[in-house]
Amino acid sequence: MKRRYTYPEAAHELRVEESWLRRHIKRLPHAKKGRVVTFSEDDLDRIDTLHHHEPSAGPFAQESVPSAGASLHPMSHLRPLPSRGARVRTG
């Protein structure tokens, strides 16, 4: 059986506060049996990956080279809705 981590153990492994894990539990991968919440090593890896950010500018930014067959994202044509109360221009 794989190792299971409790809240305090998972917080220590992820180097976060236990309260942070408890506040964000609905958005984090975990197992729940009754009221007992545990995290597998895979869960901890996924949590770490979910909150990993790469720089988009500066000397450490990775330059992405588009491939020859690359096309735009299928939803790139979508734009955000205007804020509520803003007048919509017609015509």
Residue 32 burial (CB count, 10 A): 9
**pTM summary value:** 0.61
Q: Which residue has the higher pLDDT, 36 or 90?
A: 36
Specify the number of domains making up the chain: 1
The C-alpha angle with vertex 15 and arms to 14 and 17, in degrees rounded to 5, equals 105
- Is there a domain that residue 72 lies in? no
Residue 11 burial (CB count, 10 A): 18
> Residues 29-68: pLDDT tens digits?
999 999 999 999 999 999 999 988 888 877 777 765 555 5
Domain extent at residue 17: 4-50
Average pLDDT over residues 84-89: 70
